[in-house]
A = this chain, B = another copy of it.
Amino acid sequence: MCGTCNGDAAGSAPAATATISTIDPPSASTSNGVHPTRGEPKSSPYQSIQDYVSNVNRFKIIESTLREGEQFANAFFDTETKIKIARALDSFGVDCIELTSPVSSPQSYEDCKTICQLGLKAKILTHVRCNMDDAKKAVECGVDGVDLVIGTSSFLREYSHGKSMEMIQKTALEVIEYVKSAGVSVRFSSEDSFRSDLVDILALYKAVDRAGVNRVGIADTVGGATPRMVYDLVRTLRGVVGCDIECHFHDDTGCAVANAITALEAGATHVDTSVLGIGERNGITPLGAFMARMVVTAPDYVTSKYNLKALKSLEELVADAVQINIPFNNPITGFCAFTHKAGIHAKAILANPSTYEIIDPSLFGLTRYVSINSRITGWNAVKSRVSQLGLTMTDEQVKEVTQKIKAMADLRPLAIDDTDSIIRSYHLDLQQ
């Protein structure tokens, strides 16, 4: 899994697609094989620009619902639930599934072995402290990869494990050599990377890269990094190591999705996610929101690789297992993610959904809804509803009934039945 060009992060070549500027990119094959011609409309300015360090068109997902997710306050996964979630993640198409350390408890050990034996397409990884005992337990379970982690910030070195950078490096090299000798893939990650000394962690990553580690990991353990901090650190690291780069972002300051795409732009190859983002505190980059982001940036790659129509049932499975509601504002599956209300929006969306929708809901097996039950509706939206009801009115009549709807909506909340009644009653008056 090593190589300076990160060639194995995905099969496809870097794609030259549309840019936000008005200048056409150099003539080259786009990701769908079409040569852009000057003057032709661009497919979307939100697609990735031609940038060879970027992996937005060939990233991999390390799905950590069964590790980070188990650190969520409400999470208790029995064996049956873990198996159900692992199978659902595998059907969705994630590249790797990360499990809780087998050292955590006897059942964690048994469950790790069980999931390794399910015969899933996804690689099975487990996440352990960087010491020989933990690594041996992990290898015993039959995992495809061992994810080593140790805190490198001065905070964690002082208040958690108390080790010096020299001790960390010495142990890391021994453990990496052991895991490799067992024929198992190995990742080495610092914890709290953004509060670690830059020179220290670059030196450490360089040493483990030379020792043949498959991936190094950057973790924003406290969720405080900004996209520009992420770009700088990952881009710097990309110039220091040849192996793959994994990133892990907590969402305490609401930047976990943006940080993930920015890391890919800077040369990271793998992104950690969990379903609905469940994890320590308010969690990490949510799988669904990350899919929303990436399907806009790299539509060909994402739609060909992931089973997007399974997202909703996957989220419902996990939400039920940890007894939470899908947040009202969840990208894609939040109840109103494709609801349009303002008159100015509804008019345009009825003419062309791309005007106010960057994601086609049908990609996820969902549909849009244009609401007309409010004071901010407009006559174009009402006209569409009139025609859905099989009624005939002139534009002037539609405008008049729109005023009646707005007047009623000024007084109280309206359901679609109420609005339909106002339209039907007005239409009846017209007939008489």
Interface residues of A (CB under 8 A from B): 20-22, 41, 44-46, 70-76, 100, 104-108, 129, 151, 153-156, 158-160, 192, 194-195, 197-199, 221-229, 231-233, 251-259, 261-262, 265, 276-278, 280-283, 286, 289-290, 292-293, 296-297, 324-325, 327-331, 334-345, 347-348, 351-352, 354-359, 371, 374-376, 406-407, 409-413
How far apart are the CA atoms of A293 and B233 in the complex, in Å?
A: 19
> Are A73 and B293 in contact, with the CB atoms below 8 A?
no
- A199 to B: closest C-beta gap in Å: 6
> Are A359 and B198 in contact, with the CB atoms below 8 A?
no
- A26 to B: closest C-beta gap in Å: 19
In the complex, chain B residues whose CB is within 8 Å of the CB of A154: 41
In the complex, chain B residues whose CB is within 8 Å of the CB of A409: 76, 105
> Are A228 and B262 in contact, with the CB atoms below 8 A?
yes
How far apart are the CA atoms of A74 and B371 in the complex, in Å?
A: 10
In the complex, chain B residues whose CB is within 8 Å of the CB of A281: 336-340, 356
> Are B265 and A336 in contact, with the CB atoms below 8 A?
no
> Are B358 and A159 in contact, with the CB atoms below 8 A?
no
Q: A20-B194, A74-B336, A197-B22 are in contact. Are A265 and B228 (CB under 8 A)?
A: yes
> Are B253 and A406 in contact, with the CB atoms below 8 A?
no
Which of the residues B21, B225, B276 comes within 8 Å of A329, measured between beta carbons? Answer: B276
Q: Which of A44, A70, A195 has the most CB of B within 10 A?
A: A195
Quick one: closest B residue to A226, CB to CB? B261
> Are B331 and A73 in contact, with the CB atoms below 8 A?
no
> Are A159 and B104 in contact, with the CB atoms below 8 A?
no
In the complex, chain B residues whose CB is within 8 Å of the CB of A256: 254
Q: A105-B410, A410-B106 are in contact. Are A331 and B198 (CB under 8 A)?
A: no
> Are B252 and A413 in contact, with the CB atoms below 8 A?
no
> Are B262 and A331 in contact, with the CB atoms below 8 A?
no
What are 29 A-B pairs with beta-carbon distances under 8 A? A20-B229, A21-B198, A46-B225, A46-B229, A71-B345, A74-B328, A104-B406, A105-B406, A106-B410, A108-B376, A156-B348, A159-B351, A160-B347, A226-B261, A226-B293, A227-B227, A227-B262, A251-B331, A253-B358, A254-B257, A254-B289, A254-B292, A254-B293, A255-B258, A258-B259, A280-B341, A280-B356, A281-B336, A282-B330
> Are B406 and A331 in contact, with the CB atoms below 8 A?
no
- 7 smallest A-B Cβ distances: which pairs? A258-B258, A327-B327, A254-B257, A107-B410, A254-B289, A227-B227, A224-B358
How far apart are the CA atoms of A359 and B224 in the complex, in Å?
A: 9
> Are B329 and A296 in contact, with the CB atoms below 8 A?
no
Quick one: closest B residue to A354, CB to CB? B155
- A110 to B: closest C-beta gap in Å: 9
In the complex, chain B residues whose CB is within 8 Å of the CB of A20: 194, 198, 229, 232-233
How far apart are the CA atoms of A228 and B297 in the complex, in Å?
A: 12
Which of the residues B107, B280, B335, B376 comes within 8 Å of A70, measured between beta carbons? Answer: B376
Which of the residues B45, B104, B226, B282 comes within 8 Å of A195, measured between beta carbons? Answer: B45
